Structure formats: structure tokens, C-alpha cells
Amino acid sequence: MPPSQLERRLRRFFNIPLKGENSEFRSGLVSQYPDERKDTIQRVIAAMTVGKDVSALFPDVLKNIATHDLEQKKLVYLYLMNYAKTNPELCILATNTFVQDSEDPNPLVRALAIRTMGCIRVDKMVDYLAIPLKRTLKDDNPYVRKTAAICVAKMFDLNSKMCIEQGFLDTLMDMLNDSNQMVVANAISTLLEISKMSDSNLLKMDSKITKKLLITLNECTEWGRISILTALADYDTNDSTEVDHIIDKVTPQLQHENPAVVLSAIKVIIKQLDKISNERREHLQRRLASPLCSLLSNPPEIQFVALRNIRIILERYPEMLSNDLQVFFVKYNDPLYLKLEKIDILVRLVTTDNAALLLAELREYAMEVDIEVVNRSVNAIGQLAIKIEQVSKKAVEVLYELYMNRSTYVLEQLIIVIQNILRRYPTKYLPTVITVIADLNFDDLSTPESLSSYIWILGQYCKQIPHLEDRLQTMASQFQEMDPLVQSAALTAIVKINLTKSSPKIRQILQQILNEATTKIENADVRDKAYIYWRILSTDDEKLQKKVILKKLPILESTIEKFSAPLLRQLVDEISNLGSVYYKPGAAFVRLRSGDDGAFVDNATLQSKRLEELQQMAKSEIVNNAVKAENLLDFDESAEDRQGAQEEQEEEKIEVSASSDSAANILDELSDLFSGLSTQPAKNVSSSSASPAPHNSGNHEDLLNLF
Amino acid sequence: MASVVYFLDSRGRPLLHRDYKWDIPSTAIEKFPLLLLNNSIGQSVDEGSTIPVLNDNGINYVYLLHKDLYILALTREDANVFSILCYLDSMVKVLEGYLKSLEEESIRDNFSVIYELLDEMMDFGISQITDQKILKEYITQESFTLNTLLHPSGSKKKPGSTTVFKQRVAPSTVTNAISWRSPGIVYKKNEAYLDVVEAIDMLVNSRGQLLSSEIHGAIKLKSFLSGMPELILGLNEKFMKSCLNAVRGTPGNVSEGDKKSIEVEDLKFHQCVRLGKFESEKMISFIPPDGECDLVSYRVHSPVLKPLFLIDYKVRNHSNTRLEIMLKVRANFKSRVSARKLEIRIPVPRDIDSPKYHYNKGTLKYVPNESVILWKFRKIDGGKEYVMIAELLLPSVSDDGELEKFKKIPINLKFEMQGFVTSGLQVKYLKIREPKMNYQSYPYVRYITKSGDSYEVRTN
């Protein structure tokens, strides 16, 4: 804009000193030339976009609100939305313009005004919002109505009480009968949104509304269809004719070009699948297969979410996609996360018919560059071998081949997989496994998982392993530095070997490991396990030892992870929502905010929860101690009895009951303490025989220090 | 749904954002680069190693990678994440339509129109209108004054002026039942063009065996028709039958013993096609949007598809100083057909030096930033066979992994063939009827087969 630039230059030249950007903006905003004003507003918004704080210009920007230039109006409105909070009082000055605009002859302006007004998040604004909102909800123009419908959600967010009092929610329900599809769709979306906000169900679906929605469905925009389908998915159908009607009207949506419409439609149908005849269900399952596969003809991020949903659907209906294996083959350009996800699906689709094909494909992936893909593929080959017996031989051959061109990172995963295969086929592939193991040493492996698998194989097949004693010697020498997982495996292995293939050398190693495990290892599990073995071994009952230690493991049926049944039910409801990606129901990760200080509230509740837990812990501690105290007293009593001491027994008994009372009193006392009072805790402890009591008081003092 | 939409540069710094629900603190975005880093599943942190949906401290981060930009939506609810991602994808497409290309610079230069669009496409996190044709009717990059709007007549031409003013009137099309076409379109010549385009993705192993193939087909319509024309598209019966089988979920007629039959796996229609009518009356009927659209898109599985090009590849390593790559390509189709614009990308190790080529057709070029040798043909006839040998000097300092790594990257092929499509789809007719105007019009049909994004041949 040459004139304004020239002017700016002149100003600069003559009198106005440069005071930085803001003062330059300020003078531009009050310029007498409309072009310069608009230009300045644009530059202010540009500054806002890059994160500069231009809130100080609020009054000057506000002066430009009354304009007929729609673009300028939009920019000023945008500025208002962003900085309303910094100048709540000044915002009220804008209401007049908003209200005026909401009566403008141009529907675009009316809609813009009502849209923006709802976005000005200032409490006082709500008071002015109700009237124009009521008017625009009944506007002649559908564009204005559909915008106003959403504004109800904004108002609910600001002041839910007022929103309900003014009857806006009822108006929304009425709007479901609007003649315009987009208004209906937005009314649905808004009701769903408000339901989520208030954690209640406001959209009361009945068969009449359902019918109406099914008709609207075909006329809607893609996003409107998604809202309607979402509402339908949650609808609990009454009878079979309704189920049929829904399925008939929803299935054509599977051909929609927007993948989100397709997945939403799939969800609606899946939710009805249990209510129809077997024959029809099978037919529909077949029908869902290709739309599901087509979800993969999208950008990788969309594919990723689709795959997570497919996993859920597959667990519910495992046969659905077994003819479509190739769709899930990994492409070279797929991002890493997508490759891993695809491999995960591939193993779930395998049947006896396509297993050989999949194995050949997995073999290719196992030779890829990415370590993660290689590891996942090796694991998948194992899963495949375990699931489908017919290809297990080939799978083992492939694993052996991978081992031969070994790179260290394959090795770790390979050993784990071999262990699993042995658990499934205990002897079938032993010769191959032994050649692999014969070649391997402890130093070749580094992760705890692979090491413990290796050790397990040593223990299980000790008779076939060459140079067994040397290997065990190395194992024993490194025992103390090992991960607890590996130590535990080593313990079991050496005990097993001692029973099946004993020799002086092995007995010596066993003794060394048991010694170290019981004296030098800090991990309680390993220590306890060692003690238990030691006990069993010292019984000298070899039959018992063998019965306990060499117990046969159950055959491994599958190594493919599965959801638990209740979780799966919840996940079907989560299809296409965030929960389907996390594999968790919504309640597990959604934290509803409570006002702007949500974080603070969260912290506070968290702290009070922790406090409760501590109190609980303290209480149970004390109860335990009290029980112990009684026991001790009993013991004393009986001891004294045996000694036949001279003291009067009655007195003794009174004392005993008194001290056990005292322990109970401490409990009450303690809860008093936690509720804020601080009395001397040791008051009741008078008896000399109740030695645990002072210990108790020490306990609470520790606890009190915690707070 | 989405609370905020962000545009971030490749390092995760915000370029522009639009807050729709104000329930997420501005500090949340500062964490995003760290989240990408911490949640990376790969060993190196590069693009594509972090899953696109993350949760931190009650806030869900859902992103889409577009060129070098992160397009990110944040939400607190258990929202429909699939729909959010699809929305982001549509939004990017709309913005690309406006800005030609969506990148850091174009975002900075066009923030005001972007804000305007973001406002129109989503409201309070609820997706509204993402149809570019409709948006273009009332959001334009030129500035407008409301004066033109004050003429209630709605006539497009001002009396006495020859320039056509596009009015920013109430977007009636937006809320019409037919939301994709505005009334009152007039063309002198009424024409419609149909392109049947099939993109083949194929994976072939080093022995020339087909591992997997997928054909993505589309019928693209370009229409320049007046009024509100009713169109009916007729396809050959075999294809139509296969389509209906796919849609109804009935398995293909294997009983016919016709193993050569092509199977349509799935098809999708543009929103203008009446979905109900297709199923019940086997009819593809619609009122088309003005200009271009993908009317039908489909996926085909063909069990008998042969690789269109046979590749013979050999590599010889001369004591880690010099590589010799030999590649033979044979056009595996009938001699009367020919392929155009064939491009073969042969992967090589990084940083090779002074490549020398021997070849008998096309042009050869080393492309350093892709680490490939690109062999280009303008045209290759069916049945012909060509060879090239490339000698490359290896960099003196290179890690051993690199020499292994390049062999694992498949060879990529791109090409285009005209005059036929592999699925056997044929357009039988395109009936055009405009109830009020009754004009004559002629459709034109073209058939194109080309490579998809991944037409690849493995080398080892």
C-alpha cells in the first residue's frame, strides 16, 4: 500500500519518534485512512500469530470493530477472541456491535456475530448472549441456525445453569426436526458435545428420532453423517425391525469416500451384529471386510488408527479378514510405527491356507534395516510357528537361516522365540536348536529376557547340550552381576540339571549358586526361591524333589496377546475414539477439567488420596503390631505358667487385657491424630510387659513426620 | 472433538494456531517436541518413529505429518480420533487448494485467509464444511466490502458493468441438500470428460515373482455443464457385477470356473452419488459438482496380474572401492502397447563418486539426495529389453552397514500407459439430462494405467 507507507515514512521523518512496534501499531490503528487501519490490523494479527503479546493494543483495535469490511471485521473479531480475557471490561463495549451484527441483513454477518460472541470467554458476555442467541436459533437462514446451534454448546461451557434455564437444550431437541440437514447435524453434534461436557446423556434417542436421523443421514455433509452415526452407535434398539432398518440405511455409507464416515458406519453395524440371525451376521461380516481394508488406502497416520481399530474388531470377529492378508503387507516407505502395527495384524490373520505366504513375507521383513522391524518379524515368525503347526518346520528353517547370517540384534529375539517354540514343540526341532545353542555363549547375549531364555534351554535340555559344565561355570561366575530375572532362571536351571544329570562339578556349581543366592543377593524373590530349593534338596526325598522341580510345563498354545473379555467389550464401544488407540476405556485417560484451575484441583485430590492411603497403611500396620503384641503376651503368659512362677495369675490376666486394650486405643488415637488433634500417643502405655507399644508410638511419629 | 489446531514447523515450533475451546493451557504445545522424542519407538528419532496419537497429562496430541509440517490437534475428551485425523487431512487439502502448497512460508504469508478458513471449517471443535468448491464461493483472498451485498437482487452482474462480482452472499449451497453444486452455472459448450485411471502398486521379488499387488482405480469426472444436470453413468456388466458383489459382501462367482475374473474389492463414491440407488437399482446416478471430482474410486484384486516389467539385477563389489551394478529391464507386455515416462530408481550407497554408465537407451543420472541412479525412458515398447551397467567409486570412508543397507532398498518404478486399464472396466455411457435446459452434450472417455506410489522390485 504505497500511500500509507509513504505516510508512515513522513511521520517518521517529521515528528514521531520510533517507540517500537506497539506505538507504531497504535498510531496505525487510529489513522484517518481506512486502508492504513486495515493494514495495521493485519500486521497486529501477524504479530499475534507469531506469539508476540499485542494485548496492550486492545482499546485501539476495538475502535475498528464497526466496519463494513467483512475481512477486517473478521480480523478484529479474531483479535477479540484471543485477548478478551485480558480486558474483560472493555469487551463489554463490543457487545453493542455484536448485537447489531446479529441483526444484520447479511446472514454471513449474523452468523459471524453469533459465532464470535460465544467465543468471547468473559462471564459478563453471557448475559448479553442469551437474547441474540435465542433470535438466531430461529433465524430464517439455515447457515445462521446451524452456527447458532453450536453456540449453545459454547454458552453451556460458560454458564451451564443459565443455558438450561433459558431452555436452549430443549430448543436443540426441537431442532432435530429442522428442515435443513446441516442444522439437524449440528444440533446432534452439539447435544453430544454437551453430554460429554456434563458427563450425562442429553440426547434422548427414541425410535422416532432414529427414523428421522436415518433419513437425514443421506443428505448430510460427511461430518454431519459422522455425528449422526455416532448418535446411532450409542442407541439401544428396541426390536428387530428397528435393527434391520438401521442396518439397511447405514450399510450404503460404507461406500462413502470419507474414511471416518466408513468407520463410524462400521461401528454402528458391529454394535447391532449380536442382535441378528447367524446367517445375516455372517453375510454382514463379509460385507464389512472390504471397507475395513480400504481404510488402509489413506495417509499413514490414518492407517495407524485404522489398524488399532481393526485389531479390536478382529478379536471380536477373528475370521473377518482372513482372505485379505496381502492388504496388510508392509510397504517399504511405511513409517516405522505403521510397519510394526501391520506385522501385529498379519499374525492375527494367519490361517493354515495363507501361513506359507505370510512366512515368506516375514522372512523378508526380518532382513530389513530397522532393528525394530527385524525384532518384531522374528517374534512374528515364532508366533506363526506356534499357531500353525503345518508351517512350523519351515519357520524353524527360516529362523535358522536368520541365525546363520546372524547380526547380534537378531540373536536376542531369536533365543526368546526359540524358547517359545520349544514350549510348543518340545522335541520336534531339537537338533536344530541344539546346533544354535552349541554355538552360543553367554557373552553373545545381553538382554535379561534373552539370557533367561538361553538358560532355560540349558536347564531343560541339559543332556543334549555340549560343554554343559563349562557353560554352567561361566554362568556361576557371573551370577552376582546378573539381572534378578536371569538369576531366578539360573537357579531353576542348575537345580533341574542337578536332578537330571548330576556330577561332582555340577553339585559344586549348585552349592556355589545357592550360597551366593542366599547370602549375597539382595533381591527377595531370588533369595526366597533359593531358600525353598535348598529346603527341598535337603529333604533327601528324590522322588519328591523330581515331582516338584521337574514338573512338566503346559504346552504353549499361543503367544499372541489378547484382550480380556470385559476389556474387549469396552473397546468395541471405543471404536474410532481415542480409547481404541490406547486400548483403554475412555474413563481411564480422560480427566474432566473443573474450571481453569483444573490442574490445581487434580493435585489436591491426588494429595488427599495419598493421605488416605497413608492413613490406611498406618492403621493396618498398627493392627498388625497389636496382634503381634497379644501373641507376645500370650507367649509370656504361658512361659511364666510353665515356670510356675509365684505371681498371682489373676493380676497377670488383668494386665494382659489392659495392654491389648491399649493397642486398640492407639488405633482410635491415631485416627484422631490424623484428623488434626495431637495428643500424647504413649499415654496408655503403662504396662511394662507390653513392649511393642512404645515401638508403635515410634511408628506414628515416623508417619507424622511424613506430613 | 478437537480443542486446538496447530501448525508446527519441522522442529515443533508453532507457526499458527486456532483455539476452538480454550480448555488447554498454552504450555501444552511446548511439550510436544519432547513428547515426540520420548515416545519414539525407533532408535534414531526421525520422522515416522513416533506414533501419531499421544497422551500426556490428560491432553491428547493427534498429529499428521505434511511435508515438513506437523498438523496437530489437541483434545481432552475421549474424542473420535479417527474423525479428527480425517478432518486434519481434509483441512490440509483445502488449504493446499487455496495456497497451492502448504508450507512454512505460505502459512506466514497467508495467515489471514487461513484464519478465515479455519473459522469456517470448524466451530467449537465440530467439523463443519471442508468442501473446497463451496468454501471458494464465499471465502476468497481478495478483500470485499459489504456494499455489494446490500443489493438484494442476487443478480451476478451489476447493471452497466462488465466485471463479474462474486458476491459474498449467504452461502445457500452450504446448507442445501445438494451442498456440492450451486445453481445458476452456465457454459456455452456443455462438455464432460471421464478419465479412468488405475494405479498399480506391486511388489516383485528378485526372481521376478509377484508378491503382492493392488490396483487403485478411479473414475475422474471433469464436467463443464450448465444448470443442475442429472447424470447416469453406465459401466460394462462384468465390472458392475463385480462391484455389486463387493458391496453386498457376496463372494465372487468362483463356481463359474472363470479364474481370470477380476475382483473388485471395494468401491467408494463421491458424495454426489446416490448411495442407496446404487445398491437397490444398480445405478450410478448423480448431480455432479462443477469442475473436477473423483466420482468413483475402487480397489481391485487381480490374481493373474503379471509384472509389467521384468528386472534383472546384479551387483558386484570390487574390494569395497568400486561397485558395478548391472540392470536389465524387459517390457513384459504386447508389442503394440507401449509405456511412457518410465523411471527406474536404482538404489546406491550414499556419497558415491564419479559414476560411469554404459547403456543402450534412455538417460541416466545420479540423484545424490535420494541416493539413487535414475534411469529414464521417454517411451518403451512392449517386448523390448535394455541393459545398463553403472560403475561407481565408493567413498574411502564409509561404514560397512551402508554397503549392506542399500541392497535392501527395493528398486522403484514409475510409468504410464494409455488406452487400457487392467481391471477391464469400460464406460458404456454417460447420460446427461438437464430438466430445464435440455442441451446437447458429449462425454469424452480416456483410459490410463500407471504406477502407484510403490511399484517395487526387491533386489536380494
Q: Which residues of B touch A181 (CB under 8 A)?
A: 175, 177
CATH of the domain at B350: 2.60.40.1170
Residues 148-207 of B with CB under 8 A from A: 149-150, 152, 168-172, 174-175, 177, 179, 201, 203, 205
* pLDDT on residue B157: 35
A486 versus A682: which is more confidently predicted?
A: A486
Mean pLDDT of chain A: 81
Residue B221 has which C-alpha cell?
469426472
**Could B130 and A582 be called an inter-chain contact, meaning their C-beta atoms sit closer than 8 Å?**
no
Confidence of residue B369 (pLDDT cuts 50, 70, 90): confident
Q: How confident is the model at residue A263 (pLDDT cuts 50, 70, 90)?
A: very high
Model ipTM value: 0.79
Going by pLDDT thresholds of 50, 70 and 90, the confidence category of residue A268 is very high
Question: What residues of chain A lie within 8 A of the CB of B177, using their CB?
Answer: 181, 219
CB contact under 8 A, B81 and A105: no
- pLDDT over threshold 90, residue B181: no
B189 CA: distance to closest CA in chain A (Å): 30
Contact B111 A258 (CB under 8 A): no
Domain match, B9 and B131 both:
yes
Q: By the 8 A CB rule, do A261 and B268 touch?
A: no
What's residue A97's pLDDT? Answer: 87
DSSP 3-state of B126: strand
More confident residue, A698 or B304: B304
Rounded distance between C-alpha atoms, residue A648 and residue A671, angstroms? 36
Residue B169's SS3 state is coil
Give the pLDDT band (50/70/90) at residue B94: very high
Neighbours of B442 (CB within 10 A): 11
Flag if A146 and B175 touch (Cβ within 8 Å): yes
Q: How far is CA A88 from CA A94, A131, B21, B325, in A?
A: 10, 20, 18, 72
How high is the pLDDT of residue B176?
62
Q: Which of residues 21-60 of B touch A (CB under 8 A)?
A: 21-23, 25, 41-43, 47-53, 55, 58, 60
Confidence grade of residue A387 (pLDDT, cut at 50, 70, 90) = very high
Give strand pairing partners of B389: B326, B358
What does the pLDDT read at residue A11? 56
The mean pLDDT value for A326-347 works out to 92
- Which cell goes with B163? 466485471
**If pLDDT is split at 50, 70 and 90, which confidence band does A611 have?**
low
Buried b (16+ CB within 10 A) or exposed e, B368-407: eeebbbbbebeebebeeebebebbbebeeeeeeeeeebbb
Q: Which residues of B146-158 are buried (b: 16+ CB within 10 A; e: fewer)?
A: beebeeeeeeeee
- Segment A476-488 shows an average pLDDT of 90
pLDDT confidence bin for A50, thresholds 50/70/90: confident
pLDDT over 90 at A641, yes or no: no
Q: Is the pLDDT at A608 greater than 70, yes or no?
A: no
pLDDT at position B71 over 90 = yes
Residue B141 lies inside a defined structural domain of this protein: no
In a domain, B163, yes or no: no
Q: How near does any CA of chain A get to the CA of B330, in Å?
A: 23
- B51: which chain A residues are within 8 Å (Cβ-Cβ)? 304, 337, 581
The verdict on a CB contact (< 8 Å) between A290 and B299 is yes
Res B4: pLDDT: 94
> Across the interface, do A74 and B116 touch by the CB < 8 Å criterion?
yes
pLDDT on residue A420 = 93
Point out the residue among A70, A305, A367 whose CB comes nearest to the CB of B82: A305
B319 and B250 share one domain: no
Average pLDDT on B348-371 reads: 87
Alpha carbon A663 to its chain centroid, in Å, reads 45
Interchain pair B116, A189: CB under 8 A: no
Listed range (B17-26, B53-62, B180-189, B217-226) with the worst mean pLDDT = B180-189
pLDDT at position A638 over 60: no
Residues of A in contact with B83 (CB under 8 A): 223, 226, 260, 264, 576
Between chains, do A109 and B146 touch, taking CB under 8 Å as contact?
A: yes
pLDDT in tens, A682-703: 444 444 443 443 444 444 444 4
Say yes or no: B260 and B329 in one domain.
no
Burial of A429 (0-12, 13-18, 19+ CB in 10 A): buried
pLDDT of residue B447: 92
Tell if the CB–CB gap between B126 and A582 is shorter than 8 Å: no
B398 close to B351: Cβ distance less than 8 angstroms: yes
User: Angle at CA B454, nearest 5°, toward B241 and B302?
Assistant: 25
CB contact under 8 A, B299 and A338: no
A262 neighbourhood in chain B, CB within 8 Å: 268
Greatest CA span in chain A, whole angstroms? 118
Grid coordinates belonging to A211: 427414523
CA distance B82 to chain A (A): 5
Structurally, how many domains does chain B consist of? 3
What is the CATH number for B132?
3.30.450.60
pLDDT computed for residue A214 by the predictor: 92
Tell me: pLDDT of B271 over 50. yes
B130 CA: distance to closest CA in chain A (Å): 9
Window from A409-418, A649-658, B182-191 with minimum mean pLDDT = A649-658
Residue range A44-69: average pLDDT?
85
CB atoms A153 and B79 under 8 Å: no
Q: Name the more confident of B415 and B141.
A: B415
Q: CA nearest B52 in A: which residue?
A: A301
Cβ separation A369–B266 shorter than 8 A: no
Report whether pLDDT(B196) > 90: yes
CA–CA gap between residue B15 and residue B108 (Å, rounded):
7
Q: What is the pLDDT of residue A704?
A: 42
**What local confidence, expressed as pLDDT, does residue A600 receive?**
37
With beta carbons less than 8 A apart as the criterion, state whether A64 and A73 touch: no
B165 in a structural domain: no
Residues of chain B found within 8 Å of residue A251, distances taken between Cβ atoms: 279
Residue B273's closest chain A neighbor by CA? A256
Say how far apart CA A366 and CA A402 lie, in whole Å: 8
Strands B309-318 and B284-286: unpaired
| Surface of B (213-252) touching A: CB under 8 A | 214, 216, 246-251
Q: What's the mean pLDDT in A448-454?
A: 92
What is the tens place of the pLDDT at every residue in A133-165? 999 999 988 899 999 999 999 999 988 888 999
Nearest CA distance, B186 vs chain A (angstrom): 25
Nearest to A69 among B21, B65, B143 (CB): B143
Q: Is the pLDDT of residue B87 over 90?
A: yes
A84-88, A224-228, A488-492, B355-359 — which is least confidently predicted?
A: A84-88
User: Are B124 and B29 within one domain?
Assistant: yes
Residue B260's pLDDT band (cuts 50, 70, 90): low
Task: Report residue A322's pLDDT band, with 50, 70 and 90 as the boundaries.
Answer: confident
Give the residue with greater pLDDT, A620 vs A411: A411
CA distances from A581 to A575, A576, B258 (A): 9, 8, 42
pLDDT band with cut points at 50, 70 and 90 for residue A379: very high
Same domain, B287 and B210: yes
- Asked if B279 has any chain A CB less than 8 Å from its own CB, the reply is yes
Which grid cell sits at A11?
A: 511521520
Least confident of A169-173, A532-536, B276-280: B276-280
CB contact under 8 A, A361 and B211: yes
Query: Count of CB contacts below 8 A, A vs B?
Result: 293
Q: Are residues B346 and B451 in the same domain?
A: no
Comparison of pLDDT for B458 and A622, the residue scoring more: B458
B427 with B299, same domain: the answer is yes
Distance from CA of A40 to the nearest CA of B (A): 13
Range of the domain at B395: 309-418
What pLDDT, on a 0 to 100 scale, did the predictor assign at position A695?
45
Distance from CA of B333 to the nearest CA of A (A): 25
Lowest mean pLDDT among A108-112, A270-274, B304-308: B304-308
pLDDT value for B173: 59
pLDDT at residue A220 in the model: 86
Does B66 fall in a domain? yes
Mean pLDDT score of chain B, rounded to an integer? 83
When comparing pLDDT for B207 and B45, which is higher? B207
Q: Which of A296-310, A615-629, B263-277 has the lowest mean pLDDT?
A: A615-629
Q: Which set of grid coordinates corresponds to residue B100?
A: 497451492
Nearest CA to CA, how far is A292 from chain B (Å)?
9
pLDDT at A156: 92
By the CB < 8 Å criterion, does B458 face chain A?
yes
Mean pLDDT, residues A84-111: 86
Banded model confidence at residue A25, pLDDT cuts 50, 70, 90: confident
Residues B276 and B231 grouped into a single domain: yes
Q: Which residues pair with B47 in a beta bridge?
A: none
Pair (B207, B264) in one structural domain? yes
If one compares A677 and A504, the residue with the highest pLDDT of the two is A504
Name the pLDDT band for A639 (thresholds 50, 70, 90). very low
Residues B399 and B453 occupy one common structural domain: no
* B438 shares its domain with B347: no
CA atoms within 13 A on the CB side of B423: 36
Residue A637 binned pLDDT confidence (cut-offs 50, 70, 90): very low
DSSP string of A32-99, one letter each residue = S-HHHHHHHHHHHHHHHHTT---GGGHHHHHTT-S-SBHHHHHHHHHHHHHHGGG-HHHHHHHHHHHH
Contact check, Cβ <8 Å, B53/A581: yes
Last residue of a domain, one of B136, B163, B181: B136
Beta-carbon contacts of residue B254 (< 8 Å; ≥ 6 apart): none
With a cut of 90, say whether residue B264 has pLDDT above it.
no
Q: Can you tell me the mean pLDDT for B24-37?
A: 90
Specify the pLDDT at position A12. Answer: 56
Quickly state the pLDDT bin for A650 (edges 50, 70, 90). Answer: very low
